[in-house]
Amino acid sequence: MGGQGATEPLIPSRPAQRASVAKEYRSVALNWWKRGLAALGIATSTLGGLAAPAAARDARPALWQVSDADTKIYLFGTIHLLPEGLNWRTPTFDKAVADSQELVVETVIDEKNPQKMGAIMAKLGLRAGLPPLLDRVPPARRTRLQAAVQSSGVPLAAYNRLETWAAAFTLLGLQFRSMDLKSEQGVEQVLRSSFTTAGKPIGELETNEQQLGFFDQLPEAAQRSLLESATEQPAAVKGEFDKMLGAWTSGDPASIARAFNADMQSSPALMDVLLKRRNANWARWIENRMQQPGTIMIAVGAGHLAGSSSVLALLAKDGYKVRRLQ
């Protein structure tokens, strides 16, 4: 399925463009790689077991609000993995969570229904007649890719059956083994647990298939760039992640825009697909939701709430007052 239906060339041709795709890919993949691929019977248990840092740290991530007479929507930018011991829940944030009647995230992965997840991954991620995985990267990258496959504990034959983007998702976990991160500490995971425990509903802005479908529709050359990024040296990945984490913990929108989105400026086509279209869709969703009374919290990747084409900027352009609470 990879590349079918694409209406314009989105092949990243420069390192900065490849990096920008990789950031968004990692953001989505972190929600999927362990659970979705496990539903396909691909063992990923060896990709966990991350250590905690020596000391706790404090953070004040940005929290925003859009409201009118009878509707209040909190907007919180997330990051999908966090170091254990990072103190990011403030009294202001906890009050917003308690005040909210519903949580809305990018997409809801139903961990209690692995058959559904497996069906989506199989539909989009499996295909017969694919070239061997090692042939999908340049010769200079094959040794590194082979080493990553061997370290993953997943047989190469299993990777050969996966679309290139899905194989990259599987390998992603390896990049975080040595980064003192835990998926259960991620913002969405913590929020989902809080709302579920309180008996509050959780909604989504995109279906599972819509979100994964973006990667499935990427041209094969772009998917192969993702595969290459999944074999990067841990030090390089950690350096990139540390910049994103630092921006997120500071709550500074300009820093967040630089850390999460700046590389994409060099490719208008990628910016359009990865951010602008989705941000526009989400802004319309929020504007429609403002017509209903009640209080909800929307939690999406922090990069979608920073910059000139962010969800917040689009809401402000349409006349909504966006107020920062934290």
Tally of residues, the chain: 326
pLDDT of residue 136: 97
User: Residues 48-63: pLDDT tens digits?
Assistant: 333 334 344 789 999 9
212 closest CA partner among 16, 39, 81, 17: 39
Dist. CA 310–CA 68, nearest whole Å: 21
> Which SS3 state, helix, strand or coil, does residue 165 take?
helix
Least confident piece of the model among 12-21, 37-46, 183-192, 206-215: 37-46
Residue with more model confidence, 260 or 144: 144
The C-alpha angle 80, 81, 87, rounded to 5 degrees, equals 110
**Model pLDDT, residue 217:** 79
- When pLDDT is cut at 50, 70 and 90, the band that residue 305 belongs to is very high
Do the beta carbons of residue 56 and residue 86 sit within 8 Å? yes
Q: What is the pLDDT, as a whole number, of residue 282?
A: 97
Token readout for 154 is 């997943």
* CA nearest to 37, candidates 105, 108, 112, 126: 126
Q: What is the pTM of this model?
A: 0.77
**Separation between Cα atoms, residue 304 and residue 150, nearest integer Å:** 35
Q: Is 17 helix (H, G, I), strand (E, B) or coil?
A: helix
Q: What residues have CB less than 8 Å from 142, skipping those under 6 apart?
A: 134
Task: Give the C-alpha separation, 42 to 162, whole Å.
Answer: 11
Pairing between β-strand 57-58 and β-strand 86-87 as defined by DSSP bridges: parallel
Question: pLDDT-derived band of residue 254, with 50, 70 and 90 as boundaries?
Answer: confident
Q: Which residue has the tokens 């966090």?
A: 82
Residue 33 near residue 173, CB atoms below 8 Å = yes
Phi/psi zone of residue 3: left (φ > 0), alpha (ψ -120 to 50 degrees), beta? left
155: its two tokens: 């047989």
Q: Which residue has the higher pLDDT, 97 or 44?
A: 97
Best CA proximity match to 178, nearest among 66, 22, 277, 51 = 51
- Specify whether the CB–CB gap between 61 and 323 falls below 8 A: no
Q: How many CB atoms lie within 10 A of CB 284?
A: 14
**How far is CA 104 from each of CA 142, 199, 297, 321, rounded to the nearest angstrom?**
41, 14, 6, 20
Of the candidates 312, 305, 207, the residue with the CA atom closest to the CA atom of residue 256: 305
Q: How many CB atoms lie under 10 A from the CB of residue 14?
A: 11
Q: What is the mean pLDDT of residues 218-223?
A: 80
Residue ranges per structural domain of the chain: 15-49+56-324
What DSSP string runs through 280-298? HHHHHHHHHHTTS-EEEEE
Read off the pLDDT of residues 111-123 as tens digits, 9 standing for 90 and up.
777 778 778 888 9
